[in-house]
Amino acid sequence: KILILDFGSQYTQLIARAVREANVYCEIIPYHKSIEFDPSLKGIILSGSPFSVNDANAPVVDIATLHGRLPVLGVCYGAQLTAKQFGGRVANSSKREYGRALLHKQKDSVLLKDVTELSQVWMSHADTILDLPAGFEVLANTENIPYAAFKKGAATGNGTAGAEGEQPLYCLQFHPEVYHSIEGKKIIRNFLVNVCGCKQDWTPAHFVSDTVAALQKQIGQRKVIMALSGGVDSTVAATLIHKAIGDRLMGIFVDNGVLRKDEFEQVLSTYRQIGLNVKGVDAKNLFYSQLAGKSDPEAKRKTIGRLFIEVFQDEAKKVEGVELLGQGTIYPDVIESVSVHGPSVTIKSHHNVGGLPEKMHLELVEPLRFLFKDEVRRVGAELGIPDDLLQRHPFPGPGLAIRILGEVTEEKVRLLQEADHIYIKGLKDHHLYSTVWQAGAILLPVKSVGVMGDERTYEFTVALRAVTSVDGMTADWAHLPYTFLADISNDIINSVKGINRVVYDISSKPPATIEWE
Ligand code: XMP
């Protein structure tokens, strides 16, 4: 295992993902958390940070203590902090470097092994290292930065410690974890394998067998209940639990009336195909009756959340002796993030499937707690879950209710389901579905005049939304081909009676959001 000490950089999760991609397990912890030096821990990576090492409240750790015990890699701020703590000079300099730079290797090293001369790396720092501390050696420079890569102590090349018990300490001024550092992943892999001696055995197959064993140990002969949503995370989590305990896992999938067209039946049939023991609960009418008269988005969200919990609890009560609750929580939901507005620590809030309350007094089973989304998909593929389910776009818990602006009625749901179905099917047929992060249609509370044949129409407008994004935090509108948009517009207007106008949303997030409510 590798530990990544987070100093608050926006790229910390990318470091973790690069490590995991090299099939090495890692965890992120806030820099001020104490470290457990168990034998599985093979090395430490120090992240970047929005702080300057010379800020009065800059986050610090004692790097000498760490490198007395384990190999360390400092990235950007981690490199500057190392230089400063060992007696070098770091200052705000006129020679700032942002963006592209070319790495010139000064000597061979296991860290930069097989990295091409003048490989492109990505810089993002305001401070610069003016003098290296004594005992450090330069490994590479760029045009503007004399100390782009440096080290103290030597790795033997096969992952054993350097001289006199001290472990190798490597530093990189650039960000190897970002996409634009072309050979960055190779450098990280060199650190993991050549310096730390990691085995690269963090694979989906290993994860599945280890997790199934751990689940059997945790659960024993008890029963688990779980809300399923048709989404990737809950499906993969349920499939793992099912592999561990079979039909002692009882899944519940609620039709809240605001799912996509035919989604309830299709997802239930996929679950059966996977072999899951799932009960479908048709609660459409309850949801419609309680949504009636509500047009405020937050009121709609609260109503749906509350009803979901009620329905789920009713079903849970019917399962005798159930003691555990399965959840599809994933790693980004549980990483403690370091706040850049001071050393305080905030835990990210997350909206899980309906947000089931703690007062259910059930012990949690969260087999995906340490996985990133792309790893969840890889584990899902390993488990044989069909690709169309694994590659599904995210879909909000309140479903189409927050895509019908204003009051939700059964009739409006039907209209939107039809339009949305044409749009999503079109994206798939034109091989565009996987090029966007999320897509959907929105029913606007606006009627406008149209003409069809000799007839005047006065009907609703639908907005199409498609965005590109990495994590939903920021997003750009997808530049879908005009010919595609033209076809979809025609299809919707010609086949969905009640809609006579289609518009395309060209807003990015921020300042807009992905959903309209
Ligand atoms: P926004 O609209 O905030 O959406 O840009 C970002 C992502 O979050 C999803 N979303 C929700 N998911 N419950 C959910 O489970 C909600 O109330 C909710 N609101 C937005 C949205 O679909 C997008 O993926």
Task: Walk me through the domains of the chain, giving residue ranges and CATH numbers.
Answer: 2-195 (3.40.50.880), 204-390 (3.40.50.620), 409-504 (3.30.300.10)
- Say what the pLDDT of residue 470 is: 85
Tokens, residue 333: 């939901």
Residues 6+ away with beta carbon under 8 Å from 134: 86, 87
Ligand 1 centroid to residue 438 C-alpha, Å:
10
Give the DSSP letter of residue 13: H
- Most ligand 1 atoms within 8 A of CB, residue of 296, 300, 395, 514 to mutate: 514
- CA–CA distance from 427 to each of 128, 506, 515 (Å)? 48, 17, 18
- Say what the pLDDT of residue 360 is: 79
Name residue 170's beta-bridge partners: 73, 151
**Taking the CB of residue 429, how many other CB atoms lie within 10 A of it?**
11
What distance in Å separates the CA atoms of residue 380 and residue 372, rounded to the nearest whole number?
A: 12
Nearest-5° angle of CA 302, CA 408, CA 465?
90
- Say what the pLDDT of residue 251 is: 98
HSE of 96, CA atoms in CB hemisphere, 13 A: 8
Active site residues: 76, 175, 177
Within the chain, which residues score under 70 in pLDDT? 95-96, 157-165, 339-355, 357
Q: Return the SS3 of 23.
A: coil
What distance in Å separates the CA atoms of residue 71 and residue 169, rounded to the nearest whole number?
A: 6
Per DSSP, helices labelled H in 168-231 are 184-190, 204-219
Strands (E), 358-454: 363-365, 438-452
The residue whose two tokens read 């009907």 is: 459
- Say what the pLDDT of residue 344 is: 38
SS3 content of the chain, % helix, strand, coil (to 5): 35, 25, 40
Report residue 364: phi and psi, to 5°: -85, 140
Is there a binding annotation on residue 451?
no
Name residue 467's beta-bridge partners: 438, 477
Ligand 1 centroid to residue 399 C-alpha, Å:
9
Ligand 1 surroundings by CB, under 6 angstroms: 301, 351, 394, 396-398, 438, 472, 509, 513-515
Q: Could you report the per-residue pLDDT of 258-278, keeping only the tens digit for each?
A: 999 999 999 999 999 999 999
- Say what the pLDDT of residue 62 is: 96
- Say what the pLDDT of residue 275 is: 96
123 and 86 Cβ atoms separated by less than 8 Å? no
- Say what the pLDDT of residue 345 is: 40
